[in-house]
Chains A and B, each alone.
Chain A
Amino acid sequence: MAAPAQRRIIFQHIDEPGYSNDLACYVRNGGYEVLKKSVTRPPAELIDEVKKSGLRGRGGAGFPCGVKWGLVDRKSGKPIYLIVNADESEPGTFKDRYIMHQDPHQLIEGTMISCFANNVKQAYIYIRGEMPHGARILEKAIAEARAAGFVGKNILGTTYSCDIFVHRGAGAYICGEETGLIESLEGKRANPRIKPPYFPAVLGLYQCPTIVNNVETLCHVKYIVEHGGDAYTKVGTPNNTGTRIFCVSGHVQRPGYYEFEAGKITLGQLLYEVCGGPLPGRTFKAVIPGGSSAKILRFGERFKGKRKVGAEMVDYDWGVEDVPMDFDSLGMIGTMGGSGGVIVMDDTVNMVEALANINAFYSHESCGQCTPCREGSLWMKKITTRMVHGQARNEDAALLKSVADQIPGRTICAFGEACSWPTQSFIAKFGDEFKQYPETKKTAKPAGAHELV
């Protein structure tokens, strides 16, 4: 089956020749019209549209955005804050950066609509420390929008005021975790908070109710408010509404970002047709479908089970290539849609070395608060590093798995899962490679394989 065409909702103007990131260009293309209409509507109506749309958060967890807004404590009398999570730190993900670099006003408009809908008087864009250019662009764009009356005091001549501030992180993965982000925004170490009691919707920034949404999610809000929640549900598949941006990296002919309706394209179509398949003379070996913390898939494995189509349950029997790219399908086969970072590895990649790389990242990024994640991530890194650069032992695979099993579900935030899932899945699916690694090390590397870092 041929791959469907891209459906660019969010990335409509990305890489468009002649499209620039200034206000004039945005307004020329119909910008801020949705905001103008929104401020004339009752805020509750806007929230309803988002609830109806079934929009799921694009940061990684896929939590329904309308439900998140519904949890906000509106009776406390405290101000409500909105934070745009622009920390985009999951390896393999590079979608929000393009929105901020090339279409920042789309984000600002989405943010202002969401702020108006939730009666937010102050919003923050928490941008990743490694994106200084993006921060400058956002600062400039917000200044433009403020001057034009789209942001700031009494926007568009109404009585509603809301300002947006850009806050740069200092370059830590954990700042993408919402409570870690809040701590960081408050000026502290980004140690995620314990939940309960510190649910952001109740006790978030400065102990006030706070909404934390991903950049892409807020852009979807703009689209939803423009076209209506019901219209949005027609994009994508039920329960996986809207489009998804896939950031494909690794061993494919045409890596890049592609926006498709969620669930309408399979992983095989994406990799073989859209991205042009493997490099010449290579074959695909493995793919991580949702950012580096998602569980890896091995080409050749099959997934069987029952799934819900409409009202009935039907059997499915998928190879990796057949899996529809949406939250639920990927969740069913034991991995996740995550942040949309699709990382492809071909037959030149040794999985032990790939895991060593991932483990090095996660051990470096653990905040160090909870014992299992702090010690476990570094231990796994030390094991895989020793396997690659020192002496590998036959029993290392079993030890790695045992260490990884002691982490998830026992930590404050989801980092415990993020750092252990790669090891768990690599060993479950490529255990033979780990067992053979002491022998593999003695043979020459395949042609074209990357040098070890």
Chain B
Amino acid sequence: MIAPPKPDLVTVNIDGKEIAVPKGTNVIEAARLVNVDVPHYCYHPKLTIVGNCRMCLIEMGLPAVDPATKAPIIDPATGKQKINWIPRPQIGCGTNVSPGLHVKTTSPMVKEAREGVMEFLLINHPLDCPICDQAGECKLQEQSTGYGRGYSRFIEQKNVKPKRTQLGPRVTLDDERCILCSRCIRFSKEVAKDDVLGFVDRGSYSTLTCFPGKQLANNYSLNTVDICPVGALTSTDFRFKMRVWFLKQTNSIDPESSVGANTVVWSREGQIYRVTPRRNDEVNDTWMADSGRELFKAVNAPDRLATTASIDTLVAQAAALFKANSTPGAIAVVGSGRSSVEEQFLTKQLAAALNATASTHLVSRVGQGDKLLISADRNPNVRGALVTGLISALPSQKLTALAAAIDAGKIKVVVSVGEDLAAVGLTAAQLAKVSFVYLGTHVNPTSAAAQVVLPTLSVFEKNGTFINQQFRLQKFAKAVPGPSGATDDLIVLAKLVTAASARLSSAPLAAIPSDLGSLWKLLAAEVPVLGPITYANLPETGLLLDATPFVALPFVEGETLHFKPVAPAVAVTV
């Protein structure tokens, strides 16, 4: 049953199925809505339309009207309005819907046209799928099963083109595989705003290349690899490393800034091989920055923190430190804008248990925004700290208040959640004056100075949520197990909270949960904004939270893709 068309909707008929779609939708997208796949190469939903691959050819017709009276012509055989079918195939990508448009995607004409295009695309293609990185996720390979001939009629010499051009530091081009769809050119020009790619030569000898003296070196260059429908543009890093069908895909979030680009982490047997963007039309479209794709390399870095001691032993050492400094205000907590919402919530509990709520700090990381997918706030989750109440004002870059308190001898112990205090303004002398409990993943001056080091996990090794600059709550999932000798942050924090509260009262709190399900029940109870949400029902594309309590805060972000600094946030409705 199709709802009556609204004014901005247009009813079209695709392979006999009626559907109402918004004006301006093209046939490929309209067909997608009725689960009809229109094969295509050059068309990309986030780029301009050039209509050059000719794969999305469809047969279309419009309702017949009498040219003189404009009255519909009724076909006596069916009793419906006659359809004037256009005798030549049309491109689906370049054809926008119009009222009563009829489309056939499976007619003999369409099949023949697509088979013709498919054969043409393959004649000069090297057909080197066995050694091609794209194999398994290659549109050419995919469509050739539907429209390919299965054998070649081409007995001539294939065109010879450059096989391994370095277009830039991260992208390698195999020109022979290129089907000249021009997606990469349009991406560079339209999205990355770095117009460096173009074709030289003509006809079948056309060759993709960088303009003389230019390089595809911008921080979005690897998106061209993602959108390349074939194996022409390859990631120099991922090239020849792994067959894609062996890789497990885990949804994640790019932690490099408060944009929170949605990503997929591709891993096998506990090893991450690559990170690619995941489509979210409200956040990052289908793009992400190159810098975010390299972050996984820190997972196996040699300076990763690990311990052979049991976590309970270490927590006991921390508890001893807490006990030895039980004067109110003797302990400070430095939370992190890189921690998940859940971790920040536990950090807040820890601060409360340590009587350190007044001396709880957060470190801000401010850089240059690139107006696209990296914002000025390089912490992925400062808003999480605000929402959970870990902090109530925006963090500053230098912890001067903490430094002063240390100098004054008030602070004896600092609990740092992953933050290197040497980098935020504390001198070596100040570091030497206090004892540290450090939770973190990598070695740094603070971990070196710490009395108790609790190795924890990176974003790729745990579950959690971030709140991005739009106040969009987004979840990331564990892609690979953490290294031995490191423990999930939530477990560590929960144990610390328990240990700290034991110090304060004879009757310790009920055990603080460290699993996400139970933790979210607590969160929902304590943080009203998160009330209706559970971790399990959080959509993969995130959920906008009510940002009204925080609109007055002077956030550092400038404009980025799908984000304007002063845009009013939409209240969450569940």
A interface residues with partner B (beta carbon < 8 Å): 172, 189, 191, 194, 196-197, 363-372, 374-379, 382-383, 386, 399, 402, 406-407, 409-412
Q: How far is A57 from B490 in the complex, measured between Cα atoms in Å? A: 77
Q: How far is it, in angstroms, between the C-alpha of A374 and the C-alpha of B89 when the chains are bound? A: 18
B contact patch SS: loop
* A194:B120 contact, CB within 8 angstroms: no
Chain B residues whose CB sits within 8 angstroms of the CB of A406 once the complex forms:
112-113, 116-117, 119-120
> In the complex the two chains form, is B54's CB within 8 Å of A172's CB?
no
Query: What's the Cα separation between A191 and B206 when bound, in Å?
Result: 12
Residues of A within 8 A of B321 (CB): none
Which one of A194, A406, A409, A410 has the highest number of Cβ atoms from chain B below 10 Å of its Cβ?
A: A410
A409 touches B88 (CB 8 A): yes
**A378 in contact with B52 (CB, 8 Å):** no
A89 nearest CB across to chain B (Å): 14
Contact yes or no, B204 A375, CB < 8 A: yes
> Does the CB pair B54–A379 fall under 8 Å?
no
The distance in angstroms between the C-alpha atoms of A369 and B55, with both chains bound, is 13
CA distance A99 to B85 in the complex (A): 43
Minimum CB–CB distance from A192 to chain B (whole Å) comes to: 10
Contact B156 A374 (CB under 8 A): no
Interchain CB contact under 8 A, A368 and B120: no
Contact string, B193-228, partner A, CB cutoff 8 A, digits 1/0? 000001101111110000000000000000000000
The 8 A CB mask of B340-365 against A (1 = contact, 0 = none) is 00000000000000000000000000
Residues of A within 8 A of B55 (CB): 371
Given known contacts A196-B94, A368-B204, A379-B123, is B50 in contact with A399 (CB within 8 Å)?
Answer: no
Q: Is the CB of B203 within 8 A of A371?
A: no
Q: Does B153 contact A (CB under 8 A)?
A: yes
Residues of chain B with a CB closer than 8 A to A409's CB: 88-89
Q: Are A366 and B203 in contact (CB under 8 A)?
A: yes
Flag whether B238 is at the interface (Cβ < 8 A). Answer: no
With contacts A194-B49, A379-B123 taken as known, whether A372 is within 8 angstroms of B156 at the C-beta atoms is no
A378 adjacent to B117 (CB under 8 Å): no
Q: Which of B114-133 contact A (CB under 8 A)?
A: 116-117, 119-121, 123-124
Determine how close the nearest CB of chain B comes to the CB of A37; give it in whole angstroms: 38
B residues apposed to A, CB below 8 Å: 49-55, 57, 88-89, 91, 94, 112-113, 116-117, 119-121, 123-124, 153-154, 156-157, 159, 179-180, 198-199, 201-206
B203 touches A379 (CB 8 A): no
Chain B residue numbers with a CB within 8 Å of A189 are 198-199
Do the beta carbons of A410 and B57 come within 8 Å of each other?
A: yes
Task: Enumerate 24 A-B pairs (CB-CB under 8 Å) in ascending A order.
Answer: A189-B199, A191-B52, A194-B49, A197-B94, A363-B203, A363-B204, A369-B180, A371-B117, A372-B54, A372-B116, A374-B204, A374-B206, A378-B205, A383-B156, A399-B153, A402-B153, A406-B112, A406-B119, A406-B120, A410-B57, A410-B88, A410-B89, A410-B117, A412-B52
Q: Chain B nearest CB: distance from A391 CB in Å?
A: 10
Minimum CB–CB distance from A173 to chain B (whole Å) comes to 10
- Contact call A375/B52, Cβ cutoff below 8 A: no
- Bound-complex Cα distance A189 to B50 (A): 13
A382 to B154, CA, bound (A): 10
CB–CB A371/B94 < 8 A: no
Task: Select B113's contact among A367, A399, A410, beta carbons within 8 Å.
Answer: A410
Contact A371/B179 with A194-B94, A364-B202, A366-B203 known, Cβ cut-off 8 Å: yes
Tell me the bound Cα distance from A376 to B112 in angstroms.
15
Rounded to whole angstroms, the CA-CA distance of A379 and B158 in the bound complex is: 10
Known: A194-B49, A375-B124, A409-B88. A367 touches B202 (CB 8 A): yes
Which residues from A are CB-within-8-Å of B206? 368, 374
Which single residue of chain B is at the shortest CB-CB distance from A405? B116
CB <8 Å contact, B51 and A410: no
Residue of B88, B121, B198 touching A375 (CB-CB under 8 A) = B121
Q: Report whether B116 and A368 are in contact in the complex, using a CB–CB cutoff of 8 Å.
A: no
List the B side residues contacting A386 at CB < 8 Å: 156
Q: Contact check: which of A196, A365, A371 meets B120 at CB < 8 Å? A: A371
Residues of A within 8 Å of B154, CB to CB, are: 379
Residues of B within 8 A of A383 (CB): 156
Across-interface contacts of B201 in A (CB, < 8 A): 368
- Name the residue on B nearest A189 (C-beta): B199
Q: How far is the CB of A187 from chain B (nearest CB, A)?
A: 12
**With A and B bound together, what is the CA distance between A379 and B117 in angstroms?**
13
Assess the B202–A366 pair: CB atoms within 8 A. yes
A376's partner among B89, B94, B120, B159 (CB-CB below 8 A) is B120
Q: A372 contacts B120, CB within 8 Å?
A: yes
Query: Is A379 a contact partner of B199 (Cβ separation < 8 A)?
Result: no
The listed residue (B121, B153, B198, B199) touching A371 by CB distance below 8 A is B121
Taking the closest CB of chain A, its distance from the CB of B102, in whole angstroms, is 18
Given A406-B113, A411-B54: 15 more A-B contacts, CB < 8 Å: A172-B202, A194-B50, A364-B203, A365-B203, A368-B180, A369-B52, A371-B179, A372-B116, A374-B206, A375-B204, A383-B156, A406-B119, A406-B120, A409-B88, A412-B51
Is A378 within 8 A of B204, CB to CB? yes
Which 6 pairs from chain A and chain B are nearest by CB? A406-B116, A375-B120, A382-B156, A368-B206, A366-B203, A409-B88
Let me know if B203 and A378 touch, CB within 8 A.
yes
Taking CB atoms, residues of chain A closer than 8 Å to B52 are 191, 369-371, 412
Chain A CB count within 10 A is highest, among B116, B159, B180, for B116
Min CB distance, B574 to chain A, in Å?
Answer: 41
Chain A minimum-CB-distance residue to B41: A371
In contact, A379 and B116 (Cβ under 8 angstroms)? no
Which residues of the partner chain A approach B120 to less than 8 Å between Cβ atoms?
371-372, 374-376, 379, 406
Instruction: Determine the residue in chain A with the shortest Cβ distance to B119.
Output: A406
Task: Find chain B residues with CB under 8 A from A365 CB.
Answer: 202-203
Bound form: Cα–Cα A379–B121 in Å: 11
A366 to B180, CA, bound (A): 13
B91:A194 contact, CB within 8 angstroms = yes
With CB as the reference atom, state the residue of chain B lying closest to A393. Answer: B155
A378: which B residues are within 8 A, CB to CB? 124, 159, 203-205
B160 to chain A, nearest CB (A): 13
CB contacts (< 8 Å) of A402 on chain B: these are: 153
| Closest B residue to A190 using CB positions | B202
A172 to B202, CA, bound (A): 10
Chain B nearest CB from A366 CB (Å) reads 4
Q: Is the CB of B94 within 8 A of A374?
A: no
Report whether A410 and B54 are in contact in the complex, using a CB–CB cutoff of 8 Å: yes
Specify which chain B residues have a CB less than 8 angstroms from the CB of A372 in the assembled complex: 54, 116-117, 120
CB distance from B15 to the nearest CB of A (A): 20
A138 to B94, CA, bound (A): 39
A376 to B153, CA, bound (A): 12
Residues of chain B within 8 A of A172, CB atoms compared: 202
Closest-by-CB residue of A relative to B51 is A194
Instruction: Give min CB distance, A90 to chain B, whole Å.
Output: 17
Q: Which residues of B contact A369 (CB under 8 A)?
A: 50, 52, 180
CA distance A396 to B50 in the complex (A): 34
Assess the A375–B123 pair: CB atoms within 8 A: yes
A77 to nearest B CB, angstroms?
A: 23
Which residues from A are CB-within-8-Å of B204? 363, 366, 368, 374-375, 377-378
Minimum CB distance partner of B154 in chain A: A379
Chain A positions within 8 Å of B54 at CB level: 370-372, 410-411
Contact assessment for B203 and A377 in the assembled complex, using a CB-CB cutoff below 8 Å: yes
**B residues within 8 A CB of A376?**
120
Q: Which single residue of chain B is at the shortest CB-CB distance from A195?
A: B94
Q: Which residue of B lies closest to A173 (CB)?
A: B202
How near does chain A come to B4, taking the closest CB pair, in angstroms? Answer: 28
Cα separation A374 to B119 with both chains bound (whole Å): 12
Task: Decide: A368 and B156 in contact? CB cutoff 8 A.
Answer: no
Closest residue of chain B to A408 (Cβ to Cβ) is: B88
- Most chain A CB within 10 A, of B51, B88, B119, B120, is at B120
| A186 vs B88: C-alpha distance when bound (angstroms) | 30
Whole-angstrom distance between the alpha carbons of A411 and B206 in the complex? 17
Residue picked from A374, A377, A379, most chain B C-beta under 10 Å: A374
**Which residues of chain B are within 8 angstroms of A368 by Cβ–Cβ distance?**
180, 199, 201-206
Q: Which residues of the partner chain A approach B124 to less than 8 Å between Cβ atoms? A: 375, 378
Shortest C-beta distance, B85 to chain A (Å), equals 14
